[in-house]
Chains A and B, each alone.
Chain A
């Protein structure tokens, strides 16, 4: 699992990589939340470009960050999911939720 975080303007950019499951979801969540609170970012961009595998633990992670951003009036964007990860996102309906903002 890879989780690199950088702030650019008002956006927090999180680059995830490797395999995301329940084993590592908690660590990713606390890393993102710590930076979000520290930087007070108004938008969160999660770059999934290097994620090779994700299960519903990853969906929980994304839904949780969506709720957190929505609560502070911010936005969340998912970028570059691979086909297998994209199918999971499509199936869950999370893309519609995020699209609707």
Chain B
């Protein structure tokens, strides 16, 4: 069985909380535990924040969020967050822990590291001037299977 949802939001920082709550609410139909739910919400928050402050640089833009649930022996929750903003010139470097383009603004430089640590897969595609697509997934084993 497969289920999905799509969301479109303007790049306003007040929507960070809405985006992670919405994805969390959709993901909650699976058998995930409270830690897994927190992992997904935190990762969504990181990706959406990146789109707002780096992608659109606090200017107006649209962020597209898609979440797909693939049920099976292992349930897979896939989240895709896409923007049409500035893009990332060097994705590899951007993904290094503590790398930040704005050290004076007290960014931790840990956004991608958080997504990598809290999700099971992370795939970042970006083109300068065209935007960024962050695709990440979390594998959820049901309580019974996890106990085996």
Residues of A within 8 A of B (CB): 19, 21-23, 25, 29, 53-57, 59-61, 63-64, 83-84, 87-88, 91-92
Chain A binder among B104-112, B124-132, B134-142: B104-112
In the assembled complex, which residues on chain B have CB atoms less than 8 Å from the CB atom of A91? Answer: 113-114, 117-118
Q: How far is the CA of A68 from the CA of B17 in the complex (A)?
A: 28
Give the complex CA separation of A48 and B39 in angstroms: 18
Question: How far does the Cβ of A18 sit from chain B's closest Cβ, in whole Å?
Answer: 10
**What is the distance, in angstroms, from A60's C-beta to the closest C-beta of chain B?**
4
- Chain B nearest CB from A30 CB (Å) reads 11
Q: How far is A26 from B108 in the complex, measured between Cα atoms in Å?
A: 13
A-B residue pairs in contact (CB < 8 Å), sample of 15: A21-B17, A21-B49, A23-B14, A54-B42, A55-B42, A55-B46, A55-B49, A55-B111, A56-B109, A57-B49, A57-B108, A84-B38, A84-B42, A88-B42, A92-B113
CB neighbors of A among B16-60 (8 A):
16-17, 20, 34-35, 38, 41-42, 45-46, 49, 52-53
Beta-carbon contact of B111 and A19 below 8 Å: no
Q: Is B13 on the interface with A (CB-CB < 8 A)?
A: yes
**Is the CB–CB distance between A29 and B106 below 8 Å?**
yes
- Bound Cα distance from A91 to B113, whole angstroms: 9
Interface size of B by Cβ–Cβ distance < 8 Å?
25
* A59→B52 CA distance, assembly (Å): 18
Shortest Cβ distance from residue B139 to the other chain A in the assembled complex, whole angstroms: 18
**B-side interface residues toward A, CB under 8 Å?**
13-14, 16-17, 20, 34-35, 38, 41-42, 45-46, 49, 52-53, 106-111, 113-114, 117-118
With A21-B17, A21-B49, A22-B49 already in contact, the answer to whether A63 and B42 are too (CB < 8 A) is no
**Is there contact, CB below 8 Å, between B17 and A23?**
yes
**Which residues of the other chain, B, contact A22 by a CB distance below 8 angstroms?**
13, 16, 49, 52-53
Nearest CB of chain A from residue B48's CB, rounded to whole Å = 9
A53 CA to B117 CA in the complex, in Å? 17
CB distance from B80 to the nearest CB of A (A): 18
Q: Is the CB of A23 within 8 A of B16?
A: yes
B106 contacts which of A55, A61, A84 (Cβ < 8 Å)?
A61
Q: Is the CB of B35 within 8 A of A87?
A: yes
Query: Complex Cα distance A63/B17, Å?
Result: 22
What separation, in Å, do the CA atoms of A19 and B45 have in the docked complex? 11
